[in-house]
Structures are given as C-alpha cells and as structure tokens.
Amino acid sequence: MKIVFVTNPPLADLIDRERLKGLGEYREVTEEEYRLQGPGTLADAEIILCGSQLVKKELFDACPKLKLVVIRAVGYNTVDLSCAAARGITVCNNPLYATVPVAQHAAALLLSLTNQIRGFSNEVLRGAWGPAKARSLGAFPMMELRGKTLGVIGFGRIGRETARILAPFGMQVLAHDPYPTEEGRALAEYVPLDDLLAGSDVISLNCPLTPENHHLIDRDKIARMKDGVMIINVSRGKLIDEQALAEALRSGKVRAAGLDVLENEPPADDCPLLSAPNCLITPHVAWSAPESRKRMADCMIDTAEAWLAGRPINVLTAPGKT
C-alpha cells in the first residue's frame, strides 16, 4: 500500500513516521511541493493524508489508484464528497483532535472581550496608569458573566466543551442543534433558533458550514438578538455576513465580536471587520496548540490503521455511501 502524507510546517516535526512506515510504502510531499508540481506528484498514492483544501476532483483525476483520503481537519465543507463516492474513494475526517483547544479559544476570546484585555493593556503600554486609569474605566467597560445567558449554535463536541468551560462562570446555557443528545441536555436547554437569538447575551457559533447555513448570522438574525449581544465564532467564517456584523458593531447592536475565522483567509484589505470597533480577530489558530497538533497527526494515522484493518472510523463518504 502506497501512502503519502502531504505535510505542512505545523505538522512536519510531529509525525510518527515509524508508524506510517509500518503501514506500507511511505513518502512525504510538502504542501509547497504540491502547489508547485500539482496533484500529479501524488499519482501513485493509494492512501493520502492531507489538508481538506486539496481534496477535489483534480486530485481524484490525478490519482487513479487512490482508495482512502484522511483529512487533518474537523470541517470538510471544501471536500468534494460526491466525486469521492462516485470514484469509490473513502474519505475520513479528524473530529477529535481539537475539541479542547478550540473550546478554550472560544472562552479566551469571550473573556478578552468582557474584561477588555486589549484596551487596558494598550493603555498601560502608553503610560496611562495612575490618575488616567479612572478615564480607562469609562472607556473600557467590563462585564460580568455571572447571570448572563450563553447561546451555543451547534452543540456537538466543541459546543458542549465550550458550555462546560463557561457554565462555571455562572452562565445559563441555551443550545440549538438538529440532533439533541442526553449529554447535551445535561449541559443546556435545547431551544429553537429564534428563542436562542432573543434570549442570549453571548452567542457562540460551533456548527459546521453547509449550504443551508451560509450567512446564518445576517442582518435579520442580528435584529432578533438582544441589544448589546456578544458574538463568538471559532467555526467557519462564512457563517457570518461580515458586512452585517460590522454595521451592528458600529451601531452598538452587537457589543463585541471575537472571531478566529473569516469569510476569506487571510482577509482582503477591504474586509469590513478589520475596521469595525470592538472586534477581536485571531488568524484561525484555535486548533494549533502543540498538544493538539500532535494529536492531529496521531489521529490521522489511527484512522488509516483502522481502515486498513477493516474497521473504518470517522468516515464521511465511502463506496456506496452518498
């Protein structure tokens, strides 16, 4: 079995190459090599471990022997699953590696906003500690979380972990998800989306991107929210209409937003959120703690091993499954 791992710098030093060599004929291709040489550089591969952005028809066309693709991400909205199924190729994702760090990042964004960390830190750096501190208190009003309501849209692993982190601050938790679970009911009250929008002081997006929820948060949805709501997004940038959110931040309808993802990454210079007030943006790094990256690499190998042993896991599509 010929196995190719398409590596990038965050993973290159964390791959257990001995395990992979034990599975078959193993080689590596960097993402930079792939960009320069095209998918033909993987032409002999039967198993490919790679980023989801590569898993398109052109890859399948170039790799006639391909049987299995393991993507390193949780999300798979860019993967051509229908083409894979038509070609008889199994595609698996990597759903477990980033649950804790992504939920932790959602909480970190929220706490940075409620406690005005960036504003106060900048004040200290410019020397405004002392008599000027009183002015800072007015310029950067803080907010307690106790007694506030957290609304989580998408109550899967990451959404539930986010609730576990933030509930001890004294927050009540509402959840909206098409697939309620008993584990979820122990953490939150499941409600319709309109009830969540109207009742939440903080809204956290933790759902996958699908054609149906593109721009889930738009002008209409924002209008249904509480005045002064906070929005956190560590899922997919296209869940939010960025122009609508920027307008709501400027008007004060949305008090603040904490985002690890944007519609276009990296953003264009005219991205409206880059100049919007009270908007904290990080560059899609919630998943990237060293522990998480190591887990990512190991879980990809676990998935390949399970498939080879005839016990496939984390399957998105397989021969006959559409």
**Amino acid symbol at 298:** D
Question: Which candidate in 32, 144, 183, 265 is catalytic?
Answer: 265
Task: State the residue for tokens 């791992």.
Answer: 5
Instruction: Look at strands 149-153 and 172-176 and give their pairing.
Output: parallel
Tokens 């972990």: give the residue: 161
Dihedral sign, CA of 258, 260, 264, 267?
Answer: positive
290-308 and 99-114 helices cross at what angle (nearest 10)?
A: 150
Could you give phi then psi for residue 144, rounded to 5 degrees?
-80, 145
Helix axes 117-125, 99-114, angle to 10 degrees: 60
Q: Is 265 a catalytic residue?
A: yes
> If you write DSSP's letter for every residue of 165-183 in order, what string do you get?
HHGGGT-EEEEE-SS--HH
Point out the catalytic residue in the list 214, 215, 250, 284: 284
Length of the chain: 322
Active-site position among 72, 236, 293, 295: 236
> Residue 284 catalytic?
yes
Residue 148: strand, helix, or coil = coil
236 belongs to the catalytic site: yes
Characterize 234-269 residue by residue with b for buried, 16 or more Cβ atoms within 10 angstroms of its Cβ, and e for exposed: bbbbbbbbbbbbbbbbeeebbbbbbbbbbbeeebee
Q: In what order do the strands lie in the sheet with 90-92?
A: 25-30, 2-7, 47-50, 68-71, 90-92, 315-317
Q: Which residues are catalytic?
A: 236, 265, 284
